[in-house]
Structure 1
Amino acid sequence: MKTLAGTAEQPEYDMNSSSDVEPKKASASYIHDLLRDRICSLEYRPGHMLRENDVSAEFSVSRTPVREAFQRLSLAGLVEIRNGIGTFVTQFDSEQIESVFQFRSEMAALIGRMQTRDATDDDIKILEALLERARKLKDRFDVDEHWKINHELHFAISSLVLNPAFLEVWHNLYFQAARAWYDVSRLISADAIRLLCSEITELLTALTENDRAAIGSIRRNYINYFRRRIVDVA
């Protein structure tokens, strides 16, 4: 089971209970987050069919939380539920990609205008660690590690924003765009790593200065850079 730190709540277990007591079942949110990450990292590629029975068996749960997870994925545009047929990972075309990236670019510019918290030493340490990991990819590109670093970077920066309505849309757009960028990054790995290291370096400076407007501008710039690479490869 693929998991990413900080992206999905873990099922709860009582460490003091006896071995005869069943652990709490995985929640719909937990199942949703893991399936979402698998879709965005292209473990489940467009057209892949998700079967309720298989997912229920994997997480040892009834169909109810699985159906709830599928509904949330559908609302985010990541799967299509075809009644009487099944649930399929959605396709994405050039027009959809352009629309999503354009919207993300404009939203990024708004980060400096949203209610945010000050960056802390811990925030800076997180980005420093991500930069160190990203630099190691120059010697040996690992698509899963590249995905994880980008994923953790997204949430590290998003954690500064305190506006829940903004974050709901921002996260949905990120997950819709992620599949296209990670698919292309496999083909231009050296350039993808260069951009990643450059973005984290610039964000570190902005965080150190607590410059919210700069953080938004940097994110916007690199979203546009990624969009151009996708267009070029296509």
Structure 2
Amino acid sequence: MSREKKPLDQGERGAAGAASPASLYDTLSAAMVRFQYRPGERLNEGAIARDLGVSRTPVREALSKLVAAGLIDHEPGHGFFRRKLDPKEIFDLYELRQQIEVSAVRLAVHRATPQQLDDVDAILDRSMAAAHEASVEIVVGFDEQFHDAITRLTGNVEMLRSLQLINARIRFVRWIDMRGRRGGTQGEHRAILDAMKARDAARGCDLMEAHVQRRLEQIVEAVREGYASIYMGNVA
């Protein structure tokens, strides 16, 4: 590939030694989320295929799916490119995330069973136990798991799918943003869940709105730190 970078993780392989389509997509998705390619960098399909030991056709198919997921861009006649870290785009995604998650709390308060809320409580307990010693990547994984679990309680699969697509596109910024605020995030999660278990939809929605709003107010700084991490080789 152009410029030296950490080799791509080849993921799971089938019996014939070729990466499965799903694992190929996951491998490339992880590379894009981690900004193994710099913002605006052209993606060399041939080099990627050689790294992963596959032909260019499945690579191109996986890259096309990444375009659909919003992680990369395609310019006809020029190829595929890693999307830039655009503060306005990130802000818009966080704003949409806020609307989805507030609505999810409102629906889940009325639809979730006590056992389902207890299951989310168990997720939160595990994340809080690991928060102080786990890597930022693991902490962000727990964070997404909590928010996914709340949205899953709505029973609305399209709402959950939309949230997961948003989270994939903002994951890198969340890594940057999470570095210094693990404890605060866990406390906010606990307060949101307590309100939901009390069936207090208004309080739960207010808490979720404030939880995401604090991130909205820090987007520009998080993007600035993200660029510094990428170009200093200190990617999460």
Structure 1 residue runs of 4 or more that deviate by more than 6 Å after TM superposition: 210-213
Q: Specify which structure has the higher proportion of helix.
A: 2
Provide closer, same or farther for how the CA distance between residues 232 and 211 of structure 1 changes in structure 2, counting only shifts above 3 A.
same
Matched, 1:202 2:161: no
Helix, strand or coil: the match of 2:97? helix
Tell me, yes or no, if the aligned pair for 2:127 and 2:139 is still in contact at 8 Å: no
Secondary structure of the structure 1 residue equivalent to 2:131: helix
- Residue in 2 that maps onto 1:36: 29
Match of 1:132 among 129, 133, 138: 129
In structure 1, list runs of 5 or more residues that go unmatched.
Answer: 4-9, 14-20
Secondary structure, aligned partner of 2:27: helix
State the alpha-carbon separation in 2 of the partners of residues 134 and 81 from structure 1.
38
Identify unmatched segments of 5+ residues in structure 2.
Answer: 1-7, 225-236
Per-residue CA deviations over 1:55-82 (Å, capped at 9, x if unaligned) read: 3344443333322221121122210123
Percent sequence identity over matched residues? 22
Measured at CA, do residues 23 and 162 of structure 1 come closer, stay the same or move farther in structure 2, by a change above 3 Å?
Answer: farther
- Conserved in 2, the CA contact under 8 Å of 1:117 and 1:161? yes
1:73 & 1:179 partners in 2: Cα distance? 15
* C-alpha RMSD over aligned residues: 3.4
**Across the two proteins, how many residue pairs are aligned to each other?**
212
Retained in 1: the 8 A contact 2:148–2:160? no
- Residues 160 and 232 of structure 1: CA distance in aligned 2, closer, same or farther (over 3 Å): same
- Equivalent position amino acid for 1:113 in 2: L
CA distance in 1, matches of 2:111, 2:56: 39
CA drift at 1:101: 1.7
CA deviation vs aligned residue, 1:92-136 (integer Å, no higher than 9, x gap): 322222222222211222112379553154433222111111133
Report the counterpart of residue 213 of structure 2 in structure 1. 224
> What does residue 162 of structure 2 align with?
169
**For residues 59 and 213 of structure 1, what CA distance do their matches in structure 2 show?**
50
**What secondary structure does 2:137 align onto?**
helix
Mapped to 2, the partners of 1:134 and 1:193 lie a distance apart of 6
Following the alignment from structure 2 to structure 1, what is the Cα–Cα distance between the partners of residues 13 and 153?
27
SS at match of 1:88: strand
SS in 1 for 2:132: helix
Distance in structure 2 (CA, Å) of the matches to 1:201 and 1:2: 35
CA change 1:177–1:22 in 2 (3 A) is closer
1:26/1:61 contact within 8 Å kept: no
Corresponding residue SS for 2:80: strand
**Aligned equivalent of 1:193, options 178, 182, 187:** 182
TM-score, structure 2 as length reference: 0.70
Cross-structure match for 2:20:
26
Contact 1:108/1:219 (CA < 8 Å) preserved in 2?
yes
Give the distance between the partners of 1:157 and 1:34, measured in 2 at CA. Answer: 27
Query: What pairs with 1:115-154 in structure 2 (closer than 5 Å)?
Result: 117-118=112-113, 119=116, 121-136=118-133, 142-154=135-147
Change (3 A) 1:214 1:58: farther
